Structures are given as structure tokens and as C-alpha cells.
Amino acid sequence: MRFCICFSYEGTAYYGYQRQNNLKTIQSVMEEALFKINHSKKVLLHSSGRTDKGVHALCQIAHCDLDVQITPHQLKRALNTFLPDDIYVRKSILVDEEFHARYMVLNKTYQYRINMGEFDPLRRRFVYQHNYPLNVDNMKKAIQYFVGEHDFRAFVTENETKDNCVRTIDIATCKIDPSFPNEVVFTFKGKGFLRYQVRNMVGILIKVGTGKISPDKVGEILESKDRSKNGATAPACGLTLTNIQLIDEYQALLD
Amino acid sequence: MRFCICFSYEGTAYYGYQRQNNLKTIQSVMEEALFKINHSKKVLLHSSGRTDKGVHALCQIAHCDLDVQITPHQLKRALNTFLPDDIYVRKSILVDEEFHARYMVLNKTYQYRINMGEFDPLRRRFVYQHNYPLNVDNMKKAIQYFVGEHDFRAFVTENETKDNCVRTIDIATCKIDPSFPNEVVFTFKGKGFLRYQVRNMVGILIKVGTGKISPDKVGEILESKDRSKNGATAPACGLTLTNIQLIDEYQALLD
């Protein structure tokens, strides 16, 4: 039986999503819990995509095949019993064998948070600590350049040699969080993102916010397709995969 | 020289504020850092009041006397260098010898958070996890009974044998957090609070929220001065000391 699982995690204590030898990763901890539930038979968990070391998720989607007879609700409860308290399964549903977590994604939403005020120990795991105010109006202008279909080659990592860097961003916003007035939140929604793309886009937005470059320069860098023109990759801890929407047929089951 | 220090901390890893033998507490970790700064001479830190095990603070106030020649800004920087990342000194000021952190408080503000939605691993340290919706309108009615001067004897712990339980609460509100729509936030502002008072008031508000008692019953329990009529003490992790306002003379120096 194939199950689709929606789960959230705080990435602080993990070496990213993907399984790695001898390192604690989200995938390995999830698969260990699934192994116990599946009567000690190995289970492979296929996710919608990786998240990097230190990145959080409110809604990650994955699927797996289990041999054991179990209802979706029982699977959710059993997983949450075995999982540590920084991973939580929100929903589990039964899906047909056509389903694959990677290919049934309609869109993903990422949020990136920057604390422009003084360090706050209660928020330290969830923000990039910037310490100084950023020009939010200019960042709001700049972020609009990312909306639409673009070749994001300038926003991948230098060692990335992907043939196709064309992606479409449907929504890109920059807002102050009403509950944390020192925190600026970037939201990006799109069908898919390249590795480090969000953190690299945020890196250049920070340059806009500090006044090092003008908002219009972001459009130029995007068009240049030249990675060397971009800024630093923003740190992982500010990034959260906040939502994944599946194609309607499966999303209806998840809602 | 006497310094007044404003600092924040995440209480998760501490056995409360107050020094205890062989246990990691906020006071002991702060005093260890001050000891290093004060050329290995013991420093006593006097706070505005304790916070219990697991309780957080955005603004705790304390004072200490140092022998070493140091400016307030240097003290802030030195402390933040020695302190772990779950404690952060926001401000340090020089004060006269009349100053005492306990007696210069004009008012304190506490917030208590309850997550009425599903468990969220990113919020687990900062909320009481309730899982089910609470009747917010009824809790808003009930919380008004706490405003004003009252004998809060019904809201102290049973083994508390304080003579005087009369306290004044200036503001008591119940709101949904705009950034976390599943979280209800209680805010209490007053000159001073009894031990466990906030968590006991929240305990009874939860009873109102679940429909076990009516909002008006809170007024009756308050008037009864009978601790046995109150509910359970709400868990520590939902509580944060969010602000302390000093009397004008000193608050002007802190702002």
C-alpha cells in the first residue's frame, strides 16, 4: 500500500533532508520510524524534494510503500509515537501506485525570515540575524523582478551545472511580520525551485536592502544569467518550506 | 559600580531563573559570565523576580555591582560573548546605589500562548499544546474578571501561605496571534504577580475555553479566595515575561 505523508520539521538538529551515511537527517529518522512500523522491513521514503541542512518545513510531502496492514490514521499516530519532537506528521493518506511525491506537486511555497532588530534568543533558530534595518520598500520593488518565467542561472550555486535553469515564480512578496515587527518575511511560490535558488535570491535582496545595489539591478543580474554577479547565499536557518500544493486529484485527499 | 541589565532568554534548557546547587539556571549562567568579566571576583545578580523552570523572558531586569572598570556598552558586549546563545543581554546601563531591580519595577507584562491547532515542531518550545479549539469569545469575557485590584488567593499554589495575595492587574487581554492563527495569546500587565498566578489564571481560562465552566464562574472563583476551586496550573513553556517597565527615572535611561 502506498501512503502519502505530509509532515513538518525543525531542521536545526539535522544534516538536511536527504539520507547520508552516519549523519542524522530527516529522511533517515523518518525511515527508521517507518522500519519499525513496517515490521522491520526496510522502507524508502520519496520526498517532493530535499531541504538543505538547517532548513525547516511546515509541510513537506513524501510517499512510501508499506507491507503492513495499517490505516492512514494509524500510520500518522504510529509515526508520531516513534518520531522525535522536532518532526511531526500532520496527515497521512492512502494513494494509488501512480502517485509520486516528486511529480504530483502543483507548487511549493518557501518563506525566508530576516531579523533586522537585535538578537532574540527565542527566534534564533528561525531567522537570519541581520542586526540592522533594511530598506523594505526597495526590497519590495526588487523582489518583483523574480515573478514570472525566468532563466534563474544567476541564482544557482557556482558548481551547479544544470542544463535548464528556467523556472516560474507565481508569487514573490516582502512583508513585515505583524507579530515580530523586526522581522521581514520573503515569500516565494512556484512550481519548483533550483538548489539554493531561494537563499541566493534572498542574498541579492539583502544587498538591495542595505543599499549596496538598486532594486533595478536585480533585474539586470537576472538577465545576465551570471552567477558571479549575485551576492552571498543567505544562511539556511531563515528558510522554511511552508507549503506544498499537490495536483487537484491528490490535494483534495489531503485537505 | 552598579549596573542594571535588561536581558532575554529561552528558558527551555534551564531549571528556572534562581540559582540552585548543581543545576543550570539563568542566574548561575549569568553570574558565571559576570565572574569572568569581574576579574574572577564573585558577582551577585539581583533580578526583578524569578521565572520558573521552562519560562522564557524577552525582558528580564537585574542589577549587580562590579569592581572592574567597564562601560555599560562594554559590559553588554562582554556578557554576550561569554553567554550561550539562549541568553542575550539587550541593554546595560549604569545606575546609582539606590537602584534595586526588585523595587524599581513599575509593572510587568506576561504573555501566555496556547496552540489550539495541531502540534507544530517549530513552535513547540513556546506554546502549551492544546490540540483542540477553545472558545475565544468566552475566554475574552472571563479574562476581564482579573482586571483591577483583587485578592488572588484562589490563584496561588496550594502550599503557598502568603499573607497578602492582593494584586492589581491593569491589562488582561485574550487575542489570536495574526502570524499564528492557531495560537491564542493571553497578556497580563500589572505591578506584580504571585508565584504561579499567571499559569493558574490561564488554567481556569482553559476551563472556560473548553466549556467546562462559564465565563462568570471565574468571577465567583476569584471572590471565593479558595484555591481548591481553581483548575490546573498551565505548563511553563507557554509563558514568557515579555516586558518590565521601571519607574520613570530609570526607564528613561533604559529606553
pLDDT of residue B127: 98
The closest alpha carbon to B172, from B154, B181, B183, B185, belongs to B185
- Span A109-122, pLDDT tens digits: 999 999 999 999 99
Q: Which residues of B touch A122 (CB under 8 A)?
A: 8, 10, 56, 58, 126, 240
Q: Minimal Cα–Cα distance from B177 to chain A, Å?
A: 7
Residue B24 confidence (pLDDT): 97
Contacts of A93 (CB under 8 A, 6+ apart): A3, A4, A72, A250, A253, A254
A187 contacts chain B (CB < 8 A): no
What does the pLDDT read at residue A160?
61
Q: Inspect the interface and report whether the beta carbons of B88 and A120 lie closer than 8 Å.
A: yes
**CB neighbour list of residue A205: distance below 8 Å, 6 or more residues apart:** A139, A142, A143, A174, A186, A218
ipTM of the complex in this document:
0.91
Residues A194, A98, single domain; the answer is no
Residue B231 pLDDT > 80: no
pLDDT for residue A135:
98
Residues B120, B170 share a domain:
yes
Listing DSSP states for B41-61 in one string gives -----EESS---TT-EEEEEE
Final residue in a domain of this structure, among A53, A81, A103: A103
If asked whether residues B10 and B114 sit together in one domain, one would say no
In a domain, A248, yes or no: no
Helices (H) and strands (E) in chain A, counts: 6, 10
Contacts across the A-B interface (CB distance below 8 Å): 54
Identify the DSSP state of B234: P
C-alpha grid cell for residue A148?
Answer: 514570472
* Candidates A122, A187, A242, partner chain B, best to mutate (most B CBs within 10 A): A122
Average pLDDT, chain A: 95
Asked whether residue B250 is domain-assigned, the answer is: no
Q: How far apart are CA A92 and CA A57, in angstroms?
A: 16
The closest of A49, A67, A61, A47 to A2, measured between CA atoms, is A67
**Is the same domain home to B145 and B28?**
no
Cα A156 off chain centre by: 15
Please check whether residue B248 lies inside any domain of the structure.
no
Q: Are residues B129 and B170 in the same domain?
A: yes
Stretch B43-61: mean pLDDT, rounded? Answer: 96
User: What distance in Å separates the CA atoms of residue B207 and residue A3, rounded to the nearest whole number?
Assistant: 38
**Same structural domain, A121 and A164:** yes
Chain B residues within 8 A of A180 when measuring between CB atoms: 179
- Per-residue model confidence as pLDDT tens for chain A (255 residues): 999 999 999 999 999 999 998 999 999 999 999 999 999 999 999 999 999 999 999 999 999 999 999 999 999 999 999 999 999 999 999 999 999 999 999 999 999 999 999 999 999 999 999 999 999 999 999 999 999 999 999 998 766 667 889 999 999 999 999 999 999 999 999 999 999 999 999 999 999 999 999 999 999 999 999 888 777 899 999 999 999 999 999 999 998
Does residue A251 form part of some domain? Answer: no
- Which residue of chain B is at minimal alpha-carbon distance from A185? B179
Domain identity same for A121 and A224:
yes
Are the beta carbons of A193 and A117 closer than 8 angstroms? no
Chain A residue whose CA is closest to B237? A122
* CA–CA distance, A205 with A193 (Å, rounded to integer): 17
Domain encompassing residue A53 = 2-103
How far apart CA A17 and CA A19 sit, in angstroms, is 7
Sign of CA dihedral A143, A149, A151, A153: positive
How far off is chain B from A63, nearest CA to CA, in Å? 20
Hey, how many other C-beta atoms are within 10 angstroms of the C-beta on B34? 26
Find, among B31, B29, B36, B23, the residue nearest to B9 by Cα: B29
For residue B122, what is the nearest residue in chain A, using CA coordinates?
A: A10
For A96-226, list the strands marked E by DSSP: 105-115, 128-129, 148-151, 166-177, 180-190
Q: Which chain A residues are Cβ-neighbours of B177 within 8 angstroms?
A: 179
Q: How far is CA A168 from the centre of its chain?
A: 16
Scanning every residue of chain B, which has its alpha carbon at the shortest distance from the alpha carbon of A123?
B10
For A108-119, the DSSP string reads EEEEEEEE-SS-
**How many angstroms separate the Cα of A235 from the Cα of each of A34, A240, B1, B56?**
31, 12, 40, 26
Q: Does B96 touch chain A (CB under 8 A)?
A: no
Domain limit, last residue, from B103, B124, B141: B103
Last residue of a domain, one of B81, B103, B125: B103
What is the β-pairing status of strands B105-115 and B128-129? parallel
Look at the pTM and tell me if it is higher than 0.90.
yes
pLDDT at A231 (0 to 100) = 77
CB contact, 8 Å: B56 with chain A? Answer: yes
A99 and A121 together in one domain: no
Query: B22 Cβ partners below 8 Å, 6+ apart?
Result: none
HSE-up of residue A17 (Cα within 13 Å, Cβ side): 22
Determine, yes or no, domain membership for B121: yes
Query: Distances from the Cα of A30 to the Cαs of A27, A63, A64, A186, A253, in angstroms?
Result: 5, 11, 11, 29, 22
| Among B9, B10, B121, beta carbon nearest to A8 | B121
Which residue in B110, B108, B112 sits closest to B244, CA to CA?
B108
C-alpha cell at B87: 541568553
What are A189's strand-pairing partners? A109, A171
A92 and A146, same domain (yes or no): no
C-alpha distance from residue A153 to each of A110, A165, A214, A226, B33 (Å): 19, 5, 20, 7, 48
Same domain, A171 and A198: yes
Report whether A60 contacts A9 (CB < 8 A): yes
Please confirm, yes or no, whether B170 is among the known catalytic residues.
Answer: no
Domain CATH for B225? 3.30.70.660
B56 lies in the same domain as B117: no
Report yes or no: A73 at the B interface, CB cutoff 8 Å.
no
SS3 A2: strand
Say how many domains are in chain B: 2
User: What residues contact B183, with CB distance under 8 A and at least 6 apart?
Assistant: B113, B114, B115, B116, B117, B123, B127, B176, B177
- Residue B96 inside a domain? The answer is yes
How many other C-beta atoms lie within 10 A of the C-beta of residue B95? 22
State whether B116 and B62 are in the same domain: no
CA distances for B88 relative to A34, A240, B44, angstroms = 40, 24, 18
